[in-house]
Amino acid sequence: MSDTNHGVLSVVGIGPGNDEHITPAALQAIKEAELVVGYSTYIKLVKHLIEGKEIVRTGMTEEIGRASAAVEQARSGRKVVLVSSGDAGVYGMCGLVFQVLGQIGWKRGDSPELRIIPGITAINGCASLVGAPLGHDFCAISLSDLLTPWPAIRKKIEAAASADFVIGLYNPASGRRQRQIVEAQEIIRKYRPGNTPVSLIKSAYRRKEHIVKSDLDHFLDYEIGMLTTVLVGSTQTYYFEDYMVTPRGYNNKYLMDGTVLDGQTPGRSLVLDESGRPIAEKMERSGEA
pTM: 0.89
pLDDT score recorded for residue 2:
39
Q: Give the pLDDT score at 280.
A: 62
Distance set, CA 138 to CA 114, 201, 221 (Å): 30, 17, 24
What is the model's pLDDT at position 112? Answer: 96
CATH class of the domain comprising 123-245? alpha beta
Low-confidence ranges of the chain (pLDDT < 70): 1-4, 280-289
pLDDT of residue 4: 58
Separation in Å, CA 222 to CA 56, 126, 200, 253: 36, 17, 9, 39
Position 250 scores a pLDDT of: 83
Please tell me the predicted confidence (pLDDT) of residue 59.
Answer: 79
Q: Between β-strands 35-39 and 54-58, what pairing exists: parallel, antiparallel or unpaired?
A: parallel
**What residues have CB less than 8 Å from 70, skipping those under 6 apart?**
9, 11, 37, 56, 80, 82, 97
CATH architecture, domain defined by 3-120: 3-Layer(aba) Sandwich (3.40)
**What's the rounded Cα separation, in Å, for the pair 288 and 174?**
50
Q: Which pLDDT value is given to residue 284?
A: 46
| Domain edges within the chain | 3-120, 123-245, 249-289
pLDDT at 175: 83
